[in-house]
Chains A and B, each alone.
Chain A
Amino acid sequence: MPRILLVIAALGFSMLSCAEAAEPINIGALLPMTGSVAAFGQMAWDGINTAKQIEPEALGRPIEIKLADTKSEKVDSANAVSRLIEKDKVVVIIGELISGNTIAASDHAERSKIPMVSPTATNPLVNQGKKFVFRVCFIDPEQGRVAAKLALDRLHAKTAAIIYDISQDYCVGLKTFFQREFTQDGGKIVSETMYKMGDRDFAPQLSRIKALKPDIIYAPIYYTECALIAKQAREMGLDTPILAGDGVQAPELIQLGGKAVEGIYFTAHFHADTISTPMGKKFYELFRKDVKKELDSYTAQSADAYFMIVDAIKRAGSTDPVKIRDAIRSTKDFEGLTGKITIKPDGNAIKPMVVNKVKDGKFVYVTTIMP
């Protein structure tokens, strides 16, 4: 009996202390922490945590981040998002990072009327016809256009071979947009070969490409496969330049690819050399001190999604998801870390595009293009 009394007393005390501190605002982080694009998730997680150190609260209440792992899979993304909404009671979600998973997850968020902001999902279908799904990055029709321009003007390519992953919405989408722009401007696609995520042997595809002698290989794919493709291509004596998209910007590209990935150009969201805002400088300093890693796209974009969401909560003056949604939609010239963010009525952001290159085992900034 005295033990029960003690428990009741302890419970009462803990409830009392809870009431004293303000209740936290729950923000969901829907990230691929494991699986085929785990590097992105972990980079994003670093970014969100550093951003939280800079902006730890809103409306006088502390912010709490609830992490849900999507395992880089579509089914798990849909499950993870419902867990965030139903169990963790989040009012807004950051994520997912890749298009296929974001599309799979966004349906549930849309139906539950919980706003979702993707840092880097670039496929147009991510928020098409949806009222609660936003992103702080450019979209693939723009990326395809810039890549085509890059191929024609900078790499002087007249013919291109494409290799892409048929199981990923991002890859299929970007391939289509590149193809359209490249052929419109006088280029010619000599071959299209595909593979499925998880494939490790690309020799038959690459030897086919080798026989056709294209000027460039366009690879709108993710980092692991890109590194292996570059490696296998160089091994068989195929040294055609490779052009890729934002899906390759992870340290793993260089770790796995080594010398083979030298000289790969890719369109990207961000490079640390382009930081110009005060927020960006502050973040970069803190990130270098705390995390001690390179500051890449996925880190920066996720931090920006966080900053924009916190700003929206402050402007909404409430944690009501619909009010937050309205505040996000009216974001204009918000000074983030990657630059000024403006959300268009369709939920997409107006963002410049950065072109990077792999040089001496590092991602090097080449130029910025406004699409």
Chain B
Amino acid sequence: MDYSFALQQLVYGLTLGCLYGLLAIGYTMVYGVLRLINFAHGDLLMVSAYVAFFGIAIFGVAWPISFIGSVLFTALLGILIDRGAYKPIRKSPRINALITAIGVSFLLENLGLVLIGGRPKSFPAPGLFSGSIVIGTVNIPELSIWVFIITLVLLVLCVLVVKRTRIGIAMRALSRDMETVTLMGIDKDRVISFTFALGSSLAAAGGIMWCMKYPALEPFMGVIPGLKAFVAAVLGGIGNITGAALGGLILGLAEVLIVAVEPDWSGYRDAIAFFLMIIILLTRPTGILGERLPD
């Protein structure tokens, strides 16, 4: 394995890692506030991809409008899912919410199947995001650069929102102690809705980039990335935003490098992701950057 081959793999690994990371941030945010693993997160990716697709291909809207529309729609859907499915059982045991999340996930997938059908559709990626830059022998797809920049910007934004803004302080407070926060006169539901909107729009951003990179839209396209993002979130320490991004990067790089270095192992790609998760859970249950929260 020579120098440029390794660099090339690094580019691919970073791209995949950023996509996983972006999705994982949304996952981790909702978990951080509600202690709820939102299994429908991956399916929000699917919804956003389809909305963007319909905007461009069916209604002929310019792509920036279609993308923004898709993000807004997905954010709204996130709030609706919370209000409709999770809010009524907020006081029930945590396992109820978990099962409900799985239900919502199946609902979205099968709704997509009935409404749109199971045959894959192509995604018309705008010219800005296609093509690639060649440096020496290393080929860098332009989309990879965009993915990297967008992930970085969104990560910084999220950290700032959580650390610096009033709503961010409310989110952090809520994650520690829900009852006391309500006693302080904070509208709990507004904060939770905001969290869902933020998490879902991150899923949408990830979804749009995912389907530009892998243009095959189908109702179950969110399952695998959703699972991987979950692994990434656990890897980095669930509830920790920077950790989620880091977990995504580690996962993406590990998956790409293992296949590139040892092609015979390419069938074990998913096994590696979950093996990593098991190792982390066994040795460091709170994840790489996770901190122990007072229970």
Residues of chain A having any CB pair with chain B under 8 Å: 33-36, 38-39, 42, 166, 191-196, 198-201, 203-205, 207-208, 211, 224, 227-228, 231, 235-237, 252, 255-256, 258
Asked if A211 and B139 sit within 8 Å, CB to CB, the answer is no
Tell me whether A205 and B122 are in contact in the complex, defined as CB-CB below 8 angstroms, given that A194-B266, A196-B269, A256-B215 are known contacts: no
Cβ-closest 3 pairs across A and B: A38-B118, A34-B118, A200-B214
Report whether A201 and B263 are in contact in the complex, using a CB–CB cutoff of 8 Å.
Answer: no
**Which B residues are closer than 8 A to A by beta carbons?**
5, 8-9, 12, 16, 113, 117-122, 132, 134, 139, 141, 213-216, 218, 220-221, 223-224, 255-257, 259-260, 263-264, 266-267, 269-270
User: Contacts A42-B119, A256-B122, A258-B122 given: A204-B256 contact, CB under 8 Å?
Assistant: yes
B266 A193 Cβ-Cβ under 8 A = yes
Q: How far, in angstroms, from A252 to B217 measured CA to CA in the complex?
A: 11
Tell me the complex Cα distance, A137–B272, Å: 38
Residues of chain B with a CB closer than 8 A to A39's CB: 119-120
Q: Smallest distance from the beta carbon of B97 to chain A beta carbons, Å?
A: 27
Q: Which of B120, B121, B255, B270 has the most CB of A within 10 A?
A: B120
Minimum CB–CB distance for B106 against chain A, Å: 13
A196–B8 touching, CB < 8 Å: no
If A211-B5, A227-B216, A252-B120 are given as contacts, then 6 extra A-B residue pairs at C-beta distance below 8 Å, sorted by A number, are A33-B118, A200-B214, A200-B224, A201-B255, A256-B120, A256-B215
Point out the residues of chain A lying under 8 angstroms from B259, CB to CB: 193, 204-205, 208
Q: Which of A36, A208, A227 counts the most chain B CB atoms within 10 A?
A: A208
Q: Which residue of A192, A207, A228 is within 8 Å of B214 (Cβ)?
A: A228
Contacts of A255 in B (CB 8 A): 121-122
Query: Would you give 24 A-B contacts (Cβ < 8 Å), ordered by A?
Result: A34-B117, A35-B220, A39-B119, A39-B120, A42-B119, A195-B266, A195-B269, A196-B267, A199-B269, A204-B255, A204-B257, A204-B266, A207-B12, A207-B260, A224-B216, A228-B216, A235-B132, A236-B139, A236-B141, A237-B139, A252-B119, A256-B120, A256-B122, A256-B216
Docked Cα-Cα span, A28 to B119, in Å, equals 22
User: In whole Å, how far is A7's beta carbon from the nearest beta carbon of chain B?
Assistant: 34
Contacts of B122 in A (CB 8 A): 255-256, 258
A166 to B270 Cα, complex, angstroms: 13
Q: How far is the CB of B142 from chain A (nearest CB, A)?
A: 10
Option from A166, A191, A193, A200 in Cβ contact (under 8 Å) with B216: A200
Contact at B141–A235, with CB atoms within 8 Å? Answer: yes
The 8 Å CB contact of A34, one of B113, B132, B223, B267, is B113
Instruction: Choose among B9, B132, B220, B223 the residue that contacts A204 (Cβ–Cβ < 8 A).
Output: B9
| B5, A195: Cβ atoms closer than 8 Å | no
Q: Name the B residues within 8 Å of A191 (CB-CB).
A: 263
Other-chain contact of A196, B118, B132, B221, B270 (Cβ < 8 Å):
B270
A64 to B271, CA, bound (A): 45
Chain B neighbourhood of A228, CB < 8 A: 214-216
Select one of A36, A192, A236, A256 contacting B263, CB under 8 A: A192
Contact B8 A207 (CB under 8 A): yes
A288 to B: closest C-beta gap in Å: 21
CB neighbours (8 Å) of A200 from chain B are 213-214, 216, 221, 224
When chains A and B are docked, how far (Å) is the Cα of A256 from the Cα of B120? 8
On chain A, the residues within 8 Å of B214 by CB distance are 200-201, 228
B134 to A, closest residue via Cβ: A237
Given contacts A195-B269, A196-B267, A256-B122, contact A208 B260 (CB under 8 A): yes
Closest to A40 in B: B119
A195 to B260, CA, bound (A): 12
Chain B residues with CB under 8 A of A33: 118
In whole Å, how far is A30's beta carbon from the nearest beta carbon of chain B? 16
Complex interface: chain A residues within 8 A of B139 (CB) = 236-237
The distance in angstroms between the C-alpha atoms of A42 and B215, with both chains bound, is 21
Q: Which residues of B contact A42 (CB under 8 A)?
A: 119
Bound-state Cα–Cα, A90 to B38, Å = 42
Chain B residues whose C-beta falls within 8 Å of the C-beta of A252 in the assembled complex:
119-120
A33 and chain B: residue at smallest CB distance: B118
CB distance from B58 to the nearest CB of A (A): 15
C-alpha gap A157/B213 in the complex (Å): 31
CA separation between A109 and B179, bound complex, in Å? 59
Q: Give complex CA distance A252, B266 in Å.
A: 25
Which of B216, B223, B255 has the largest number of chain A CB atoms within 10 A? B216
Nearest-neighbour CB distance to chain A for B133, whole angstroms, equals 12
A211 to chain B, nearest CB (A): 6
In angstroms, how far is the closest chain A Cβ from the Cβ of B232?
A: 15
Whether the pair A208, B263 counts as a contact (CB closer than 8 A) is: yes
Q: Which listed residue, B16, B132, B220, B264, touches A201 by the CB 8 Å rule? A: B16
User: A256 to B118, alpha carbons, bound, how many Å?
Assistant: 14
- How far does the alpha carbon of A161 sit from the alpha carbon of B89 in the complex, in Å? 54
Most chain B beta-carbon neighbours within 10 Å: one of A191, A192, A235: A235
Q: Are A224 and B120 in contact (CB under 8 A)?
A: yes
Question: Taking each of B132, B134, B214, B260, which has the highest tally of chain A beta carbons within 10 Å of its own beta carbon?
Answer: B214
Q: Give Cα A39–Cα B8 distance, bound, in whole angstroms.
A: 35
Once bound together, how far apart are the Cα atoms of A256 and B216, in whole Å? 7
User: Roughly how many angstroms separate A205 CA and B117 CA in the complex, as a whole number?
Assistant: 30
List B contacts of A211 (CB < 8 A). Answer: 5
Given contacts A204-B9, A228-B214, A38 and B270 within 8 Å (CB-CB): no
**A39-B121 Cα distance, complex, nearest whole Å:** 11
Q: Is the CB of B12 within 8 A of A204?
A: yes
Contact between chains at B266 and A38 (CB < 8 Å):
no
Known: A39-B119, A252-B119, A252-B120. A198 touches B224 (CB 8 A): yes
With A and B bound together, what is the CA distance between A224 and B217 in angstroms? Answer: 10
Q: What chain B residues lie within 8 Å of A204 (beta carbons)?
A: 9, 12, 255-257, 259-260, 266
Determine how close the nearest CB of chain A comes to the CB of B4; give it in whole angstroms. Answer: 10
> Which A residues touch B12, using CB under 8 A?
201, 203-204, 207
